[in-house]
A and B are shown apart, each in its own frame.
Chain A
Amino acid sequence: MCPHRSFPNLILEGYSITSPRDARYNCIAWAAQCTTRFWWPGPPGPPYSYWPSGLRDDESIESFVSAFEALGYEACTDDSYEVGYEKVALYAKGPKPTHMVRQLPTGSWTSKLGRSVDVEHSTLRGLEGTAYGHVAVILKRRSP
Protein backbone atom coordinates (compact mmCIF):
# COMPACT_ATOMS: atom_id res chain seq x y z
CA MET A 1 0.00 0.00 0.00
CA CYS A 2 1.56 3.29 -1.08
CA PRO A 3 -0.66 6.17 0.02
CA HIS A 4 1.50 8.71 -1.74
CA ARG A 5 0.39 7.28 -5.09
CA SER A 6 -3.10 8.60 -4.40
CA PHE A 7 -1.92 11.58 -2.34
CA PRO A 8 1.21 13.02 -3.97
CA ASN A 9 1.41 15.84 -1.40
CA LEU A 10 2.19 13.26 1.28
CA ILE A 11 5.69 12.87 -0.14
CA LEU A 12 6.36 16.58 0.17
CA GLU A 13 4.63 16.96 3.52
CA GLY A 14 5.87 13.72 5.05
CA TYR A 15 3.90 10.74 6.33
CA SER A 16 4.17 7.29 7.89
CA ILE A 17 1.89 4.25 7.90
CA THR A 18 0.81 3.50 11.45
CA SER A 19 -1.51 0.50 11.17
CA PRO A 20 -2.36 -2.45 8.93
CA ARG A 21 -5.36 -2.50 6.61
CA ASP A 22 -8.65 -2.73 8.52
CA ALA A 23 -12.19 -2.58 7.09
CA ARG A 24 -13.87 -2.40 10.51
CA TYR A 25 -13.65 1.36 10.84
CA ASN A 26 -13.26 4.34 8.52
CA CYS A 27 -11.85 7.85 8.77
CA ILE A 28 -14.94 9.32 10.42
CA ALA A 29 -14.86 6.68 13.15
CA TRP A 30 -11.11 7.17 13.59
CA ALA A 31 -11.57 10.93 13.95
CA ALA A 32 -14.14 10.15 16.66
CA GLN A 33 -11.60 7.77 18.24
CA CYS A 34 -13.71 4.70 17.47
CA THR A 35 -12.24 1.54 15.91
CA THR A 36 -15.20 -0.81 16.15
CA ARG A 37 -17.74 0.71 13.76
CA PHE A 38 -17.91 2.14 10.26
CA TRP A 39 -19.35 5.66 10.50
CA TRP A 40 -21.31 7.14 7.62
CA PRO A 41 -24.75 8.73 7.34
CA GLY A 42 -26.86 5.89 6.02
CA PRO A 43 -28.16 5.53 2.47
CA PRO A 44 -31.87 4.62 2.30
CA GLY A 45 -32.63 1.10 3.43
CA PRO A 46 -31.26 -1.00 6.26
CA PRO A 47 -28.52 0.74 8.21
CA TYR A 48 -25.19 -0.97 7.56
CA SER A 49 -23.11 1.96 8.77
CA TYR A 50 -23.26 3.76 12.10
CA TRP A 51 -24.44 7.33 12.58
CA PRO A 52 -25.25 8.95 15.93
CA SER A 53 -28.98 8.66 16.48
CA GLY A 54 -31.21 11.69 16.52
CA LEU A 55 -28.87 13.74 14.38
CA ARG A 56 -29.13 14.94 10.81
CA ASP A 57 -28.01 12.04 8.60
CA ASP A 58 -27.66 13.32 5.06
CA GLU A 59 -24.27 13.51 3.33
CA SER A 60 -23.68 17.18 3.97
CA ILE A 61 -20.93 19.10 5.72
CA GLU A 62 -23.54 20.26 8.25
CA SER A 63 -24.40 16.66 9.16
CA PHE A 64 -20.81 15.83 9.92
CA VAL A 65 -20.34 19.03 11.90
CA SER A 66 -23.49 18.20 13.92
CA ALA A 67 -22.20 14.70 14.64
CA PHE A 68 -18.96 16.09 16.04
CA GLU A 69 -20.66 18.94 17.87
CA ALA A 70 -22.54 16.18 19.70
CA LEU A 71 -19.08 14.92 20.81
CA GLY A 72 -18.22 18.34 22.21
CA TYR A 73 -16.47 19.86 19.21
CA GLU A 74 -17.02 23.37 17.91
CA ALA A 75 -15.80 25.12 14.80
CA CYS A 76 -12.45 26.87 14.87
CA THR A 77 -10.37 28.71 12.33
CA ASP A 78 -6.87 27.28 12.33
CA ASP A 79 -5.11 23.95 12.39
CA SER A 80 -2.28 24.88 14.77
CA TYR A 81 -1.83 22.70 17.83
CA GLU A 82 -3.30 24.20 21.01
CA VAL A 83 -2.39 22.72 24.39
CA GLY A 84 -5.45 21.30 26.11
CA TYR A 85 -7.48 20.95 22.91
CA GLU A 86 -8.20 18.16 20.44
CA LYS A 87 -8.82 19.10 16.84
CA VAL A 88 -10.38 17.31 13.87
CA ALA A 89 -10.66 18.46 10.28
CA LEU A 90 -13.26 17.57 7.63
CA TYR A 91 -12.31 17.35 3.96
CA ALA A 92 -14.86 17.82 1.22
CA LYS A 93 -15.16 17.89 -2.54
CA GLY A 94 -17.55 20.76 -3.06
CA PRO A 95 -20.47 20.23 -0.67
CA LYS A 96 -19.76 16.52 -0.22
CA PRO A 97 -17.71 15.32 2.79
CA THR A 98 -15.02 12.82 1.91
CA HIS A 99 -12.60 12.42 4.81
CA MET A 100 -11.77 13.37 8.39
CA VAL A 101 -8.50 13.57 10.28
CA ARG A 102 -7.63 13.95 13.95
CA GLN A 103 -4.76 15.91 15.44
CA LEU A 104 -2.28 14.14 17.68
CA PRO A 105 -0.66 15.63 20.83
CA THR A 106 2.52 16.02 18.76
CA GLY A 107 0.74 18.45 16.45
CA SER A 108 0.76 16.13 13.44
CA TRP A 109 -2.41 14.47 12.12
CA THR A 110 -3.68 10.92 11.95
CA SER A 111 -5.98 9.58 9.21
CA LYS A 112 -7.66 6.32 8.36
CA LEU A 113 -7.57 6.03 4.58
CA GLY A 114 -10.93 4.47 3.83
CA ARG A 115 -10.78 0.73 4.54
CA SER A 116 -7.01 0.60 4.25
CA VAL A 117 -4.25 1.83 6.57
CA ASP A 118 -3.86 4.57 9.15
CA VAL A 119 -1.29 7.21 8.35
CA GLU A 120 0.33 9.98 10.34
CA HIS A 121 1.03 13.11 8.33
CA SER A 122 2.56 16.46 9.20
CA THR A 123 0.02 18.79 7.67
CA LEU A 124 -3.58 18.85 6.47
CA ARG A 125 -2.32 19.74 3.01
CA GLY A 126 -0.80 16.28 2.71
CA LEU A 127 -4.19 14.74 1.92
CA GLU A 128 -5.61 17.54 -0.18
CA GLY A 129 -6.06 16.74 -3.82
CA THR A 130 -8.27 14.93 -6.28
CA ALA A 131 -9.14 12.04 -3.94
CA TYR A 132 -10.36 13.93 -0.88
CA GLY A 133 -10.70 17.53 -2.06
CA HIS A 134 -9.81 20.24 0.43
CA VAL A 135 -10.22 20.98 4.12
CA ALA A 136 -13.71 22.40 4.63
CA VAL A 137 -14.04 22.69 8.40
CA ILE A 138 -11.76 22.44 11.43
CA LEU A 139 -13.31 21.65 14.81
CA LYS A 140 -11.85 21.59 18.31
CA ARG A 141 -12.85 20.54 21.83
CA ARG A 142 -11.18 20.59 25.19
CA SER A 143 -9.15 17.45 25.83
CA PRO A 144 -10.84 15.14 28.36
Chain B
Amino acid sequence: MQAVKQTFLEGTIRKKRVDWGQKTRSLVREESFGLAKRKHFDKWTEIRPVVPRQQVLFCRLEYSELDIEETFRRLVEEWRTATLLSSSMTEMCMHPAYVRIIGLGRPVVPLLLRELLTNPDHWFWALFAITGANPVNPSDAGDLARMTEAWIRWGKTHGYI
Protein backbone atom coordinates (compact mmCIF):
# COMPACT_ATOMS: atom_id res chain seq x y z
CA MET B 1 0.00 0.00 0.00
CA GLN B 2 1.28 3.31 -0.96
CA ALA B 3 0.41 5.54 1.88
CA VAL B 4 -0.38 9.09 1.05
CA LYS B 5 1.64 11.32 3.15
CA GLN B 6 1.02 14.90 3.81
CA THR B 7 2.91 16.83 1.22
CA PHE B 8 3.20 20.32 -0.01
CA LEU B 9 3.40 20.77 -3.71
CA GLU B 10 4.45 23.73 -5.71
CA GLY B 11 3.21 24.60 -9.15
CA THR B 12 0.82 22.30 -10.90
CA ILE B 13 -0.81 19.44 -9.09
CA ARG B 14 -0.58 16.46 -11.31
CA LYS B 15 -2.62 13.38 -11.53
CA LYS B 16 -1.64 10.94 -8.84
CA ARG B 17 -2.49 7.38 -8.29
CA VAL B 18 -3.02 6.32 -4.73
CA ASP B 19 -3.35 2.75 -3.52
CA TRP B 20 -5.11 1.80 -0.35
CA GLY B 21 -4.64 -1.84 -0.09
CA GLN B 22 -6.95 -3.35 -2.64
CA LYS B 23 -8.60 -0.04 -3.50
CA THR B 24 -7.12 2.32 -5.92
CA ARG B 25 -8.20 5.80 -6.42
CA SER B 26 -6.84 8.16 -8.89
CA LEU B 27 -6.94 11.82 -8.48
CA VAL B 28 -7.82 13.53 -11.63
CA ARG B 29 -7.27 17.09 -10.80
CA GLU B 30 -4.91 19.42 -12.41
CA GLU B 31 -4.86 22.89 -11.13
CA SER B 32 -2.24 25.45 -10.56
CA PHE B 33 -1.96 26.96 -7.20
CA GLY B 34 0.93 28.54 -5.49
CA LEU B 35 1.04 25.77 -3.00
CA ALA B 36 -1.39 23.05 -2.21
CA LYS B 37 -1.75 20.83 0.73
CA ARG B 38 -2.60 17.21 0.37
CA LYS B 39 -4.13 15.70 3.42
CA HIS B 40 -4.99 12.14 4.09
CA PHE B 41 -8.47 11.68 5.53
CA ASP B 42 -9.09 8.01 6.19
CA LYS B 43 -9.39 6.55 2.74
CA TRP B 44 -10.05 9.80 1.02
CA THR B 45 -7.48 12.11 -0.24
CA GLU B 46 -8.39 15.67 -0.49
CA ILE B 47 -6.55 18.46 -2.10
CA ARG B 48 -7.23 21.77 -0.50
CA PRO B 49 -5.68 24.80 -1.96
CA VAL B 50 -4.38 27.16 0.67
CA VAL B 51 -2.97 30.61 0.33
CA PRO B 52 0.68 30.15 1.18
CA ARG B 53 2.20 32.45 3.68
CA GLN B 54 4.60 33.76 1.06
CA GLN B 55 1.67 34.96 -0.98
CA VAL B 56 -0.10 37.05 1.59
CA LEU B 57 -1.59 39.90 -0.31
CA PHE B 58 -1.06 43.45 0.68
CA CYS B 59 -3.47 45.91 -0.73
CA ARG B 60 -3.21 49.63 -0.53
CA LEU B 61 -6.37 51.19 0.70
CA GLU B 62 -7.47 53.90 -1.63
CA TYR B 63 -9.76 56.31 0.11
CA SER B 64 -12.31 58.26 -1.83
CA GLU B 65 -12.75 61.91 -0.89
CA LEU B 66 -15.90 61.10 1.04
CA ASP B 67 -14.15 58.28 2.88
CA ILE B 68 -11.35 60.61 3.91
CA GLU B 69 -13.67 63.24 5.28
CA GLU B 70 -15.77 60.66 7.10
CA THR B 71 -12.68 58.98 8.53
CA PHE B 72 -11.20 62.33 9.49
CA ARG B 73 -14.33 63.43 11.35
CA ARG B 74 -14.50 60.15 13.21
CA LEU B 75 -10.84 60.34 14.21
CA VAL B 76 -11.16 63.99 15.30
CA GLU B 77 -14.07 63.07 17.55
CA GLU B 78 -12.18 60.10 18.94
CA TRP B 79 -9.09 62.20 19.60
CA ARG B 80 -10.97 65.02 21.20
CA THR B 81 -12.91 62.74 23.52
CA ALA B 82 -9.82 60.81 24.55
CA THR B 83 -7.49 63.78 25.14
CA LEU B 84 -9.81 66.57 26.24
CA LEU B 85 -8.68 66.33 29.87
CA SER B 86 -4.99 66.02 29.04
CA SER B 87 -2.58 68.95 29.28
CA SER B 88 0.27 66.97 27.76
CA MET B 89 1.19 68.00 24.22
CA THR B 90 3.03 64.69 23.86
CA GLU B 91 0.01 62.64 24.89
CA MET B 92 -2.20 64.63 22.51
CA CYS B 93 0.10 64.28 19.51
CA MET B 94 0.91 60.63 20.12
CA HIS B 95 -2.69 59.50 20.56
CA PRO B 96 -3.49 56.76 18.00
CA ALA B 97 -6.32 58.79 16.44
CA TYR B 98 -4.02 61.80 15.96
CA VAL B 99 -1.35 59.57 14.43
CA ARG B 100 -3.92 58.05 12.09
CA ILE B 101 -4.98 61.50 10.98
CA ILE B 102 -1.36 62.17 10.09
CA GLY B 103 -1.39 58.85 8.25
CA LEU B 104 -4.20 60.06 5.99
CA GLY B 105 -1.61 62.34 4.43
CA ARG B 106 -1.94 65.45 2.29
CA PRO B 107 -5.61 64.96 1.38
CA VAL B 108 -6.44 65.79 5.00
CA VAL B 109 -4.55 69.12 5.07
CA PRO B 110 -7.54 71.21 3.87
CA LEU B 111 -9.71 69.47 6.46
CA LEU B 112 -7.23 70.25 9.24
CA LEU B 113 -7.02 73.88 8.17
CA ARG B 114 -10.82 74.16 8.07
CA GLU B 115 -10.95 72.56 11.51
CA LEU B 116 -8.51 75.23 12.74
CA LEU B 117 -10.86 77.91 11.43
CA THR B 118 -14.08 76.48 12.86
CA ASN B 119 -12.92 74.75 16.03
CA PRO B 120 -9.35 75.80 16.89
CA ASP B 121 -7.30 73.09 18.50
CA HIS B 122 -3.75 71.76 18.48
CA TRP B 123 -3.44 70.40 14.96
CA PHE B 124 -0.12 72.10 14.29
CA TRP B 125 2.03 69.06 14.89
CA ALA B 126 -0.12 67.07 12.47
CA LEU B 127 0.19 69.78 9.81
CA PHE B 128 3.95 69.89 10.29
CA ALA B 129 4.23 66.09 10.14
CA ILE B 130 2.22 65.88 6.91
CA THR B 131 3.60 68.89 5.04
CA GLY B 132 7.07 69.32 6.50
CA ALA B 133 6.34 73.03 6.71
CA ASN B 134 6.46 75.20 9.81
CA PRO B 135 5.14 78.72 9.30
CA VAL B 136 4.91 79.45 13.06
CA ASN B 137 7.27 81.97 14.57
CA PRO B 138 9.05 80.35 17.56
CA SER B 139 8.08 83.34 19.71
CA ASP B 140 4.42 82.38 19.14
CA ALA B 141 4.88 78.86 20.56
CA GLY B 142 1.85 77.90 22.60
CA ASP B 143 -0.25 80.84 21.38
CA LEU B 144 -3.19 79.07 19.74
CA ALA B 145 -4.51 82.17 17.97
CA ARG B 146 -1.15 83.16 16.44
CA MET B 147 -0.21 79.63 15.46
CA THR B 148 -3.63 79.21 13.82
CA GLU B 149 -3.18 82.47 11.96
CA ALA B 150 0.23 81.40 10.67
CA TRP B 151 -1.05 78.06 9.39
CA ILE B 152 -4.17 79.58 7.77
CA ARG B 153 -1.97 82.09 5.97
CA TRP B 154 0.28 79.23 4.84
CA GLY B 155 -2.76 77.21 3.70
CA LYS B 156 -4.06 80.10 1.58
CA THR B 157 -0.63 80.73 0.05
CA HIS B 158 -0.30 77.08 -0.92
CA GLY B 159 -3.83 76.72 -2.26
CA TYR B 160 -5.19 74.37 0.38
CA ILE B 161 -7.99 76.75 1.36
| A and B: interacting chains | yes
A residues contacting B by CB (< 8 A) are 6, 23-24, 26-29, 36-40, 42-43, 45-51, 59, 98-100, 112-116, 131
User: Is B86 an interface residue when CB atoms closer than 8 A count as contact?
Assistant: yes
* Segment from B18-26, B28-36, B63-71, B138-146 that makes contact with A: B138-146
Provide 27 A-B residue pairs closer than 8 Å at the C-beta atoms, listed in order of the A residue: A6-B85, A23-B121, A23-B122, A24-B144, A27-B87, A37-B142, A38-B144, A39-B87, A40-B87, A40-B88, A40-B142, A43-B90, A43-B93, A46-B125, A46-B134, A46-B136, A48-B125, A48-B136, A48-B141, A50-B141, A51-B141, A98-B87, A98-B88, A100-B87, A115-B84, A115-B87, A116-B84
User: Is B89 an interface residue when CB atoms closer than 8 A count as contact?
Assistant: yes
B residues contacting A by CB (< 8 A) are 83-90, 93, 120-122, 124-125, 128, 134, 136, 138, 141-145, 147
Complex: A114 Cα to B83 Cα, angstroms: 8
Complex: A47 Cα to B100 Cα, angstroms: 21
> Are A45 and B142 in contact, with the CB atoms below 8 A?
no
The total of Cβ contacts below 8 Å across the A-B interface reads 86
Distance to closest chain B CB from A55 (angstroms): 14
> Are B141 and A49 in contact, with the CB atoms below 8 A?
yes
> A49 to chain B: which residues have CB within 8 Å?
89, 141-142
> Are B141 and A99 in contact, with the CB atoms below 8 A?
no
> A100 to chain B: which residues have CB within 8 Å?
87
> Are A39 and B142 in contact, with the CB atoms below 8 A?
yes
